[in-house]
């Protein structure tokens, strides 16, 4: 079994420190305490939240509690009022000529002209809401990275899920991280190395990396994580409450399309399929 390690940075945030510590014990990770603020791939993190480094073969992530429980509760409530999720045919994908419902709710927001496209459906990003802009700016202050697009997935309960996939679309900044903010129910998040998938005789024996993404947390997936590791949010029947996940991204403007961005979930970089509980294979989705 290949080893992976987490390095815990000094906790400087009163709210949430205890929760992070308890979650860390459940991940069965090797831990190294550090007495000074850690560095992101681009240098010092601007905001001294309790960052924890998570590393494996080709996996590089940073995890911490971005918001206190009280603030996270308020943001969750605001998003429940503000976010407009896709409905009707926009909430479905077409596979082999048939429409299938996506097992979660989705919405896209971002800078003017950005578009999310998959399975022949083109969804223009709505303008930033006040709450989404606040969360985006908090992520920027914490990480030093800017983002111009967010994909929102709302999991109504433990039956809503997302299958194994990689967020490696060619329209994304290849050197920019993907910042994942979790609000609501705590759900397990699983990374699996691309060479450890399937049942081929030559596959590598690499154990999955499992995390519990807490209410108010931020997971920063740095390059080259999405090149080598798939991630998923599996079904958990015992979870009865909702989880809202916001993945902030930096997409590149394509001048050939008049400044619009098309984030493709069915292009040449999409090499996996998500499977619904019915067993029907459908194109991958970003988490």
Neighbours of 189 (CB within 10 A): 22
Residue 110: φ, ψ to 5°:
170, -170
Q: In this structure, how many other beta carbons lie within 10 angstroms of the beta carbon of residue 162?
A: 22
Please enumerate, by residue number, every residue annotated as part of a binding site for substrate. 96-98, 116-118, 168
Going from the C-alpha of 140 to that of each of 113, 136, 178, 179, 221, the distances in angstroms are: 21, 6, 11, 9, 14
Distance CA 147, CA 46 (A): 16
Q: ∠118-63-152 over CA atoms, to 5°? A: 25
Beta strands 187-193 and 261-264 are unpaired
CB 240 within 8 A of CB 91: no
From first CA to last CA, the distance across the chain in angstroms is 27
Binding residues for 2-oxoglutarate: 153, 155, 165, 231, 243, 247, 249
Dist CA 92 CA 100 (whole Å): 5
Are the C-beta atoms of residues 271 and 198 closer than 8 Å to each other?
A: no
Strand, coil or helix: what is 219?
Answer: strand
How far apart CA 132 and CA 125 sit, in angstroms, is 13
Q: How far is CA 272 from CA 34, 59, 215, 263, 264, in A?
A: 38, 18, 29, 16, 13
Annotated binding site: 96-98, 116-118, 153, 155, 165, 168, 231, 243, 247, 249
């Amino acid at each position: 079994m290949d080893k992976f390690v987490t390095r815990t940075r000094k906790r400087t945030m009163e709210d949430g420190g205890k929760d992070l510590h308890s979650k860390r014990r459940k991940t069965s990770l090797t831990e190294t305490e550090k007495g000074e603020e850690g560095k992101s791939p681009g240098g010092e993190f601007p905001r001294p939240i309790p960052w924890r480094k998570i590393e494996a073969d080709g996996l590089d992530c940073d995890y911490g509690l971005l918001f206190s429980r009280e603030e996270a509760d308020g943001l969750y409530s605001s998003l429940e009022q503000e976010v407009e999720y896709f409905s009707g045919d926009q909430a479905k994908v077409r596979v082999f000529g048939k429409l299938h419902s996506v097992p979660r709710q989705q919405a896209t927001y971002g800078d003017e002209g950005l578009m999310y496209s998959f399975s022949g459906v083109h969804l223009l990003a709505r303008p930033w809401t006040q709450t989404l802009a606040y969360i985006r700016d908090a992520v920027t202050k914490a990480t030093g990275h800017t983002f111009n697009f967010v994909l929102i997935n709302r999991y109504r309960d433990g039956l809503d899920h997302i299958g194994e996939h990689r967020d490696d679309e060619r329209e994304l900044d290849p050197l920019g991280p993907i910042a994942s903010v979790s609000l609501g129910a705590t759900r397990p998040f699983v990374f699996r190395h691309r060479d450890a998938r399937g049942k081929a005789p030559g596959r590598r024996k690499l154990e999955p990396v499992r995390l519990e993404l807490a209410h108010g947390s931020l997971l920063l997936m740095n390059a080259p994580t999405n090149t080598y590791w798939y991630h998923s949010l599996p079904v958990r029947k015992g979870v009865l409450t909702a989880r809202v996940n916001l993945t902030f991204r930096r997409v590149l403007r394509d001048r050939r399309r008049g400044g619009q961005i098309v984030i493709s979930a069915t292009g040449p970089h999409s090499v996996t399929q998500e499977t619904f509980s019915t067993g029907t294979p459908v194109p991958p989705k970003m988490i």
